[in-house]
Amino acid sequence: DAKTTQPPSMDCAEGRAANLPCNHSTISGNEYVYWYRQIHSQGPQYIIHGLKNNETNEMASLIITEDRKSSTLILPHATLRDTAVYYCIVRLPHPPYNQGGKLIFGQGTELSVKP
Amino acid sequence: DTAVSQTPKYLVTQMGNDKSIKCEQNLGHDTMYWYKQDSKKFLKIMFSYNNKELIINETVPNRFSPKSPDKAHLNLHINSLELGDSAVYFCASSQDSEETQYFGPGTRLLVL
């Protein structure tokens, strides 16, 4: 499985956009980029995922570079409730890959949204 | 209407005891998982079941035995608990075609 590199921590002012970078230079062609977050003492929560194209949903936007070696998660208007550890994960789809179901979590980025 | 639920939420026990953690999902998903988050906050997968069949078994000691009585349940039984088993255990589920995993609230296990 490809590894990801994220800054250990970031700060963001409330109401501003939070841009969380992720490096996945060894990603393979079949691997998706997933983002999860974990708010203190809770289970991880799915945010968004993509393969090649940029994606947007009600929570965030995902920008993937053309060479797919890095991506950025954008929270357009960060609130205090967005304070959490954000994990960038690359994984194979399951099916067809039997081991593709597992998520391999790194250290993530601890995002602090400040008033 | 909790999607993925775990019991108990907290579990404090002595070394050498045997304990079980239960997980239930009401999402109709085919696949369920157990993850362990240690004191350094690393989250690591332990097991995965698809339609009651084991599909992922990471290098976990034999003292850990998952059991899936049906698609909606995946329980984790731990024999001869050790101090190093102290962690937060998260259950998750997904539907293969959707791939998104939904996590439970976690069970905080403390072995004394």
- Binning pLDDT at 50, 70 and 90, where does residue A105 land? confident
Tell me the shortest Cα–Cα distance from B20 to chain A, in angstroms: 19
Q: Which residue of A has its CA nearest to B100?
A: A46
Please enumerate in sequence order all residues whose Cβ is within 8 A of that of A55, keeping only pairs 6 or more positions apart, or say none: A48, A49, A61, A62
At B30-79, the pLDDT tens digits run: 889 999 999 888 889 898 888 878 877 787 889 999 999 998 999 999 99
**Distance in angstroms (rounded) separating the CA atoms of residues A62 and A50:** 7
pLDDT at position A95? 59
Question: What is the tens place of the pLDDT at every residue in B77-106?
Answer: 999 999 999 999 999 998 874 578 999 999
Burial class (CB in 10 A: 0-12, 13-18, 19+), A108: buried
Nearest to B48 by CA among B79, B9, B93, B7: B93
Cβ–Cβ pairs < 8 A, chains A and B:
56
Alpha carbon distance A106, A87 (integer Å)? 7
For the stretch A46-95, pLDDT in tens is: 999 999 989 999 999 999 999 999 999 999 999 999 999 999 998 876 65
Q: Residue B57's pLDDT is what?
A: 78
Q: State residue A101's pLDDT score.
A: 66
Residues from chain B that touch A89, judged by Cβ atoms under 8 A, are none
